[in-house]
Structure 1
């Protein structure tokens, strides 16, 4: 037979209302002795509050959804874990899905999250311009992560992608490489457009021309491998001696491509990327990367979403976070001390 709040109240010698105040931390104060008796009774009886009933009374499920392109990309995986940790700390259940970078999968997941009546959604869309009008019409607050399309009516949380690329590219070019090239993500995505702009700005500052056009591939190890192979299979006099890579996932594939072609990193090809994932840090050579602070992104994203849930009519906010360079060996710093 299920233990009820009334059972806890009888065991603790208090009213059911006092039990409620203890479990919900309010709205009325409870004496220290009464709180201690209630907590002991909860422990003794193994009482578990009926979360669903509480949610129905509050017209809240205390659950949020998160949807992203894939869980293999180390940055997305680490961000998802950080969001789950932050949601747990705020007494929120996280429902999670991946879209495999497919628009139809994204639509299916969005409908499923609506059916599950989550209170709000964190979305890393695989689309250039995600259509969230259906979510808005259904009254589901949405915060876009990682990618912040210009003019978005949804709140957004992302790093300064142009600034991150500029920082990464400046460091790469400071090693004196003369034939740099770029491996970028899918065309049209706002983060990719901004990172490409940062790369171009760094080239201009260094007085270098973009001799080899950037290669665009998905944010994956396979994508980085394919793009790097195309760039590095050029004749030696045309082959890039440095690669700016737009993500750690692609950088892992690019390092493999260098190995497959008999090229050494960083001696033959220097490399920097963006993300700063643990996967890149523990590679050989370790990857020099501009670090996205996933814990801070998760904190701001969850806080922004919960604020939207509480105040759905408030104007959208657009949070832009900084990112810092973390030196590894792939650029040459760990090998030659430059």
Structure 2
């Protein structure tokens, strides 16, 4: 049986092969609804399958979006990746995911690999975009959207949540319970001071404490973002002589580690220790007790990131408002803070 071609589709639909291409590629020219329906009906009747490889060679782009995350093991990044995959599917795209494990060389490796595959664009959840990665993006003239990372340059296209404001909400809520002070579990010495959400969470904690006239000195504790290291830090902190009455963790994964440490030390949460996190991962509703945390619109952020990375004109003509999408944070109250 002979292979069905676009010429065959055009003949059956009573139109040109160019119009068939416009329908298949969603552009670059508009097609009248009635004509589009005839073309789609002809494609279905003939069983035509577009040659995506040939399309990619002609357009110099594929139906792929590259996404690079720092740690796919952390629930937040896993859930964000899933949201991006869902949003991309709605646009007829697939997502390639690279996990850097916070290693700069791996980030450059994935950038080169994805750009060499002619992806439609890149969504970066970068710990801190290094100079080599930035140079790689510049050399390929790649379409890039930062997701979850606050941009440093006005030219960056980014989708972010209100990290500082969200942290303030969590800490204010803990203080409203009457705790003498709220300690903070932040990042490490390697956490970027600018652009990183955890740095912004620490800043939000500082602002909320200062608003209440409470000192932050000696009340910020370093820990990697994952539950395992946070558990170890939590054991030491909670078994020491200066155990805080409440603690705000910069990520839910850290908070889960702290809850585990408190349980091992037989501390009642929230009776002897109140805990709040940030991210509202699905697991936060299932901890014992359920975790008070800060949520963001992950689905909305994912859709915005996909829309931005596929917007041809944005990089050249988009205004600052169009290029930076800021999503609000929302307090999710559960029992770990002291609420019933």
Cα RMSD (Å) of the superposition?
2.5
Q: Deviations over 1:135-176 (max 9, x none)?
A: 112111222221225336432221121111111110111111
Superposed counterparts of 1:121-270, under 5 Å:
121-127=122-128, 131-151=133-153, 153-187=155-189, 188-189=191-192, 190-210=196-216, 212-235=218-241, 238-270=242-274
Does residue 336 of structure 2 align to residue 330 of structure 1? yes
Cα distance between partner residues in 1 of 2:26 and 2:152: 41
Residue 140 of structure 1 aligns to a residue whose secondary structure is coil
Q: TM-score, normalized by length of structure 2?
A: 0.87
Q: TM-score, normalized by length of structure 1?
A: 0.88
Cα distance between partner residues in 1 of 2:16 and 2:158: 45
Aligned length: 330
Cα distance between partner residues in 1 of 2:280 and 2:157: 25
Cα distance between partner residues in 1 of 2:36 and 2:149: 46
Distance verdict in 2 for CA 1:253–1:210, change over 3 Å: same
Cα distance between partner residues in 2 of 1:25 and 1:104: 37
Superposed counterparts of 1:10-49, under 5 Å:
15-24=16-25, 27=29, 29-30=31-32, 32=34, 35-49=36-50
Cα distance between partner residues in 2 of 1:12 and 1:174: 68
Distance verdict in 2 for CA 1:102–1:65, change over 3 Å: same
Distance verdict in 2 for CA 1:228–1:89, change over 3 Å: same
The CA deviation at 1:128 is: 6.6
What runs of 5+ residues in structure 1 fail to find an aligned partner?
A: none
Does the CA contact (< 8 Å) of 1:63 and 1:92 recur in 2? Answer: yes
Does residue 279 of structure 2 align to residue 275 of structure 1? yes
Does residue 76 of structure 2 align to residue 75 of structure 1? yes
Distance verdict in 2 for CA 1:46–1:253, change over 3 Å: farther
